[in-house]
């Protein structure tokens, strides 16, 4: 195992526009937040972290913490508030965001789509509408024409499978549908949208690096000896992990997307793999859980868990980094973090996952960077402000930022590239 991360490694944090900016009132999520019960706490995403106004001072803090990269997203509904209508002020805002990062020596990793869509597109059926693919491609052409000279790294879409699961299987995100066939159609459209985006970016900037942020999770049988538990775990893995990876690798849609007709795109259509890793699931066969593909998620006894109830399993990151060697592409860990309001779990979580990363790199995993989720506590989608993922706290009522111990620890790792021993008394 290497004893330090290499020179030139990308160290940063990741955010999403709707979760931090505030005042995003033109998208499907803002409308969703108005429905009673849609957000567990009843809270809304405005003001979030007021990052739209405070990005300069926020980037000053990130630079002072020795970060050299930052991942953020563009808010589609700001740039194109009506179908085909461009807000030039919004374009200029994001230009200033990118320039502010560059002035501080932070490499921008720009996510084009991070879960939210404009209200006008949602009214047409959102990603379930086949025309959404071309409309997204048009949006990509616009932002790349306007901002592409300033950006070397593009992430087209964040976590397509997570979006499909939460919105079309669990029904907890807009549009709140529970329909497997509709989810498959949406995933097919997201795949095509990525292919279109990749081609549009490369046409204008052939040297730009383009990837997709994959939510990858380990699915293991709860009872390794039980054939139905093993079958359910394999089914989950193939649908939620392998469908997208295999389609992108081959340049053609694989099952279940292939049921919707032939679809093909460029292969390869990724210059790097974006890996979002948080946890694993143990699955037990449950015949009554038809909507969940007959899988019941359980935690092993005495497993360490986050405030979200998810198992803390650093070995899963190691497993995925080894598995992704087959893609023969550089890997950026584009999200990794833990819900931990007291900051007792996060320091050890951080060290254990970075140690797993170094182990994988020692076995040939081409990891080029790590982006912690996230820099500041923010609006965590259906969970509201209740889950705390930040290296720094952020009080939405006062907008005060306070660096946590884990933030100071991460700053020292970013500065030296060396992992210290775990702090005494960590979670």
Residues with catalytic roles: 159
Are the C-beta atoms of residues 316 and 323 closer than 8 Å to each other? no
- Number of C-alpha atoms within 13 angstroms, CB side, residue 260? 22
Please answer whether residues 254 and 187 qualify as being in contact, where contact means their C-beta atoms are separated by less than 8 angstroms.
no
**What is the Cα–Cα distance from 412 to 65, expressed in whole angstroms?**
8
In sequence order, the 6+-apart residues with CB closer than 8 A to the CB of 18 are 24, 27, 29, 45, 48, 75, 114, 115, 116, 379
Residue 73: in which H helix or E strand, if any?
strand 69-73
Query: What is the strand order of the sheet 295-298 is part of?
Result: 218-221, 280-285, 295-298
Distances (CA, A) of 190 to 117, 187, 229: 12, 5, 30
DSSP 361-378: HHTT--EEEEEES-SB--
Distance from C-alpha of 213 to C-alpha of 70, rounded to nearest angstrom: 14
């Amino acid at each position: 195992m290497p004893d330090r991360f290499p020179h030139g490694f990308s160290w940063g944090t990741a955010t999403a526009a709707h979760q931090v900016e505030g005042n995003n009132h033109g998208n499907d999520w803002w409308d969703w937040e108005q429905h009673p019960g849609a957000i567990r706490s009843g809270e809304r995403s405005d003001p979030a972290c007021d990052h739209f106004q405070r990005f300069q001072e926020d980037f000053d803090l990130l630079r002072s913490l020795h970060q050299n990269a930052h991942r953020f997203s563009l808010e589609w509904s700001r740039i194109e508030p009506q179908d085909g209508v461009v807000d030039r002020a919004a374009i200029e805002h994001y230009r200033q965001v990118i320039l502010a990062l560059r002035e501080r020596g932070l490499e921008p990793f720009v996510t084009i789509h991070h879960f939210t869509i404009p209200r006008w597109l949602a009214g047409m059926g959102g990603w379930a509408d086949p025309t959404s693919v071309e409309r997204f491609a048009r949006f990509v052409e616009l932002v790349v024409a306007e901002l592409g000279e300033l950006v070397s790294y593009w992430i087209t879409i964040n976590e397509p499978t997570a979006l499909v699961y939460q919105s079309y299987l669990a029904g907890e995100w807009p549009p709140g549908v529970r329909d497997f066939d509709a989810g498959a159609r949406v995933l097919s459209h997201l795949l095509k949208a990525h292919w279109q985006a990749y081609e549009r970016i490369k046409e204008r900037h052939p040297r730009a690096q383009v990837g997709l942020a994959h939510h990858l999770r380990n699915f293991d049988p709860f009872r390794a000896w039980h054939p139905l538990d093993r079958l359910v775990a394999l089914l989950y893995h193939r649908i939620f992990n392998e469908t997208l990876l295999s389609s992108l690798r081959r340049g053609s849609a694989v099952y279940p997307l292939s049921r919707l007709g032939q679809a093909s795109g460029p292969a390869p259509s990724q210059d790097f793999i974006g890996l979002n890793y948080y946890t694993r699931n143990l699955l037990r066969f449950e015949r009554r859980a038809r909507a969940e593909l007959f899988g019941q998620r359980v935690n092993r006894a005495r497993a360490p868990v986050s405030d979200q109830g998810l198992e803390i399993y650093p070995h899963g990151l190691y497993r995925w980094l080894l598995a992704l060697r087959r893609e023969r592409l550089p890997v950026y860990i584009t999200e990794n973090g833990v819900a931990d309001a007291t900051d007792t779990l996060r320091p050890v979580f951080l060290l254990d996952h970075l140690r797993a990363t170094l182990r994988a790199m020692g076995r040939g995993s081409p990891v080029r960077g790590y982006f912690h989720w996230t820099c500041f506590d923010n609006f965590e989608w259906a969970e509201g402000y209740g889950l705390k993922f930040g290296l720094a706290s952020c009080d939405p009522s006062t907008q005060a930022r306070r660096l946590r111990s884990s933030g100071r620890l991460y700053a020292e790792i970013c500065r030296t590239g060396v992992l210290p021993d775990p702090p005494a008394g960590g979670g």
